[in-house]
Amino acid sequence: MLKIQEIREIIKLIDQSNIDEFTYENEGSKIKMKKHAAQTVVNTQVAAPAPQAVPPLQAQAAPQAQPAAQQAPTAAADTKQEASKQEDPNLHKITSPMVGTFYASPSPDQAAYVQEGDKVGENSVVCIVEAMKLFNEIEAEVKGEIVEVLVDNGQLVEYGQPLFLVKTV
């Protein structure tokens, strides 16, 4: 079975290459990657099918649009501030290397690995992303200070989604 770091390297290589589709099989395990435009899709043999509840959720989102429109002036200002933070070239984004569930701490009864204002090193564990019952520790990869935590504990995250903003030193 491939280690998570090896899978990360394969994903990076596929992203940087002209390869549109890649399949790896070994000892009953299968990893299949397809690249569509600027997006890479990673499928595994044991992956669950996409939930069928998505269309009803979209239908429920429409009635909630009116209250959100009433709060638009303050929400728009907050969104612009967050967007400018995320686009700041002085900040490093720690991104999710896979699709999974974000966990800020090693277990529910323990404190978060990092919070805003904490100092981190290249090998500091900042969170866990759980994928297919495997808990993968995510490292900072840079030395600096956590400026912002971009996701909530227990939130589903996508491949490449920013998780933290770090002011590098």
Alpha helices by DSSP H, listed for the chain, are 4-16, 54-70, 72-86
Given 3.40.50.300, 3.30.300.30, 1.20.120.640, 2.40.50.100, which CATH number is that of 85-168? 2.40.50.100
- Looking at the predicted structure, is the pLDDT value of residue 45 above 80? no
From the centroid of its chain, how far is CA 2? 20
Query: Rounded to an integer, what distance in angstroms lies between the CA atom of residue 101 and that of residue 144?
Result: 25
Query: Rounded to an integer, what distance in angstroms lies between the CA atom of residue 40 and that of residue 5?
Result: 17
* No. of helices (H) and no. of strands (E), the chain: 3, 11
CB of 160 closer than 8 Å to CB of 94: no
pTM over 0.75: no
Query: Rounded to an integer, what distance in angstroms lies between the CA atom of residue 126 and that of residue 153?
Result: 12
User: Residue 32 — pLDDT band, cuts 50, 70, 90?
Assistant: confident
With CA atoms as reference, report the closest residue to 140 among 157, 153, 161, 124.
124
- Looking at the predicted structure, is the pLDDT value of residue 110 above 50? yes
56, two tokens: 């009803």
User: Residue 169 — pLDDT band, cuts 50, 70, 90?
Assistant: confident
Query: Rounded to an integer, what distance in angstroms lies between the CA atom of residue 4 and that of residue 93?
Result: 19
User: Residue 117 — pLDDT band, cuts 50, 70, 90?
Assistant: very high
Mean pLDDT for all residues in the chain:
76
User: Residue 85 — pLDDT band, cuts 50, 70, 90?
Assistant: low
Range(s) for CATH 2.40.50.100 in the chain? 85-168
